[in-house]
Structure 1
Amino acid sequence: MNHNESISLVAQVIQLAVAPVFLLAGIGALLSMLSIRLGRVVDRARLLESQIPKMESSEAAHMQTQARTCWRRIRLIYWAIRLAVCSALLICLVVICLFIGDWIDAGLGVVIASLFVGAMTLISAALLCLLIEVSISTRRMRQSLEHHLT
């Protein structure tokens, strides 16, 4: 293979690798948002837990319920982060396999496709965790508002 063909093949592999790299950027943005959300919920849970001993028993029970809800949300966000990071790692492996497959002329198509499907499955699960967490948050806000209005 001459020098021009070699450069052309590397350029083609780079073109193939660009889409997964954009996906990595999207996962990075998702991770950033999840981290911010996690920090806010942790802060809220700590605030609630610090206020519970100072409250009357009826209000303390309500605050304990809110704190438990916060910790449930924290677990969901934590799982979403774990799943998103695992998805990003699989995307990295896709890019690596694209280059290795080209260099050693190996038939890694099935491996690459499997890694990509795995990454999409994991990111879908992460987004599902986020959806559940947002649903819990919204429901808790509505219940808290109703509690204070009655």
Structure 2
Amino acid sequence: MISHTSISTVASIIQLSVAPVFLLAGIAGILNVLAARLARIVDRARSLEMDVPTADAEVQRAEIRELAILDRRMTMCHWAIGLCTFAALLVCVVVMVLFVAVLSALNFAVPVSLLFIGAMVSVTLGLLLFLGEVTIATRWVRVSEQFVLKGKPLYDR
């Protein structure tokens, strides 16, 4: 039978692990966004790759330029997904180490802190790559001036 002390100990570990679990949910949301962006980039690249061989020279050059940008964006999304996934794994390890530390009565404060710092560095780098990918995407796509005049859409003129 489990003693009252061990039940309260497990309860306190669960309380400690609630914040990292919320962090995991946030990282999962980021991963969902990144995966969706990557899928759209891949779809666009496949579409262009099918069109390039039959396009005329000028269109072909523009499509090849766009493919180079898409390749860079895919790489950035891939690394962002990898870093955010690594951060999620580190958070999972933090929760496991918390349980092991309390149940074995060992002081794992330094390893837990280092793992958490590693997770935060990883998710920060992943978010910076995400920002870079979005920046590249928004710089590449420009709305034609024929549709926008001094910040007003065509239908407001």
Instruction: State the TM-score, normalized to the length of structure 1.
Output: 0.92
Q: Distance in 2 between matches of 1:54 and 1:139?
A: 27
Instruction: Report % sequence identity.
Output: 42
Name the SS of the counterpart of 1:30 in structure 2: helix
Partner in structure 1 of residue 74 of structure 2: 74
Residue identity matched to 1:81:
I
Count of aligned pairs between the two proteins: 145
Shift of 1:5: 1.5
Q: Distance in 2 between matches of 1:130 and 1:114?
A: 24
Shift of 1:32: 1.1
Bigger helix share: 1
Q: Distance in 1 between matches of 2:144 and 2:60?
A: 16
Name the SS of the counterpart of 2:130 in structure 1: helix
Instruction: State the TM-score, normalized to the length of structure 2.
Output: 0.88
CA shift in 2, pair 1:53/1:145, >3 Å: farther
Residue identity matched to 2:28:
G
Q: Distance in 1 between matches of 2:49 and 2:132?
A: 23
- How far does the alpha carbon of each residue in 1:99-134 deviate from its partner, in whole angstroms, 9 at most, with x for none? 000011111000000000000000000000100000
Shift of 1:52: 1.1
Misfit runs of 4+, over 6 Å: none
Question: Cα RMSD between the aligned structures?
Answer: 1.5
What residue ranges of structure 1 are gaps of 5+ in the alignment? none
Shift of 1:145: 4.2
Residue identity matched to 1:74:
M
Shift of 1:74: 0.4
Q: Which structure 2 residues correspond to residues 48-59 of structure 1 after superposition, within 5 A?
A: 48-59=48-59
